[in-house]
């Protein structure tokens, strides 16, 4: 079995592990039946995050199905670095599950808060304001390393950059919603990295 075949199985195992649990949390949050106005994040961000994100996800799926379809963006990475990506992926999965558990029904795919939204400051939110975005960034790196693929990495970097831009709108909405509680929380935590 060649390296790509092994790493395809690694990625497939990651998808099978993460997607059902993430889908469960997303469906649970959507179970409120509340309609969210996604346009509040801005039409350009709304469309570009989803289009580029879908492109990156499809690239990963194409690699899992048939690596030759993504060979045009292949990187000559050593096997040890690809295995390091797999190890990082396991850590990201654990952080994601921890994040989703604490986020609960507050989970949305936009900057708008739910009617019964709460300010989450437990679990990974105790140290950083956006652990979900941290998971996205680290998952992009892990998947790009395992697949040894430049396009998966570049599309992911674009998505993460757009999310970081959108974060400013999200934080303004949270400040409007939670006022001084959010301001104090923001002062004691880092956006993506714990404050020292």
**Is 78:188 a contact under the CB 8 Å cutoff?**
no
CA 170 – CA 182 distance, rounded (Å)? 12
Cα–Cα dist 74/70, whole Å: 7
pLDDT at 1: 52
- Say what the pTM is: 0.93
- Please state, in angstroms and rounded to a whole number, the distance separating the CA atoms of residues 115 and 39: 17
| Residue 190, strand partner residues | 128
Task: Read off the pLDDT of each residue in 66-72 and give the average, rounded to a whole number.
Answer: 95
What domains lie within the chain, and their CATH numbers?
3-188 (1.20.120.1630)
Share of the chain above pLDDT 90, in %: 83
- The confidence score (pLDDT) of residue 146 equals 98
Biggest CA-to-CA distance, the chain:
58
| Interval 105-118: pLDDT, tens | 899 888 888 888 99
């Amino acid at each position: 079995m060649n390296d790509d075949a092994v790493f395809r199985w690694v990625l497939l195992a990651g998808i099978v592990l993460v997607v059902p649990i993430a889908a469960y949390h997303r469906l649970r949050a959507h179970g409120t039946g509340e309609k969210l106005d996604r346009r509040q994040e801005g039409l350009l961000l709304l469309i570009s995050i989803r289009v580029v994100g879908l492109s990156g996800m499809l690239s990963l799926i194409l690699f899992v199905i048939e690596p030759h379809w993504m060979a045009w963006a292949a990187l000559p990475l050593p096997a040890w670095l690809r295995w390091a990506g797999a190890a990082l992926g396991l850590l990201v999965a654990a952080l994601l599950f921890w994040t989703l558990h604490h986020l609960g029904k507050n989970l949305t795919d936009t900057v708008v808060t739910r009617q019964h939204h709460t300010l989450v400051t437990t679990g990974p939110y105790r140290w950083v304001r956006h652990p979900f975005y941290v998971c996205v960034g680290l998952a992009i790196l892990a998947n790009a390393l395992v697949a040894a693929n430049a396009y998966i990495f570049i599309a992911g970097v674009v998505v993460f950059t757009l999310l970081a831009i959108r974060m400013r709108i999200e934080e303004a909405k949270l400040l409007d919603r939670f006022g001084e509680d959010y301001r104090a929380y923001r002062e004691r935590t880092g956006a993506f990295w714990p404050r020292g």
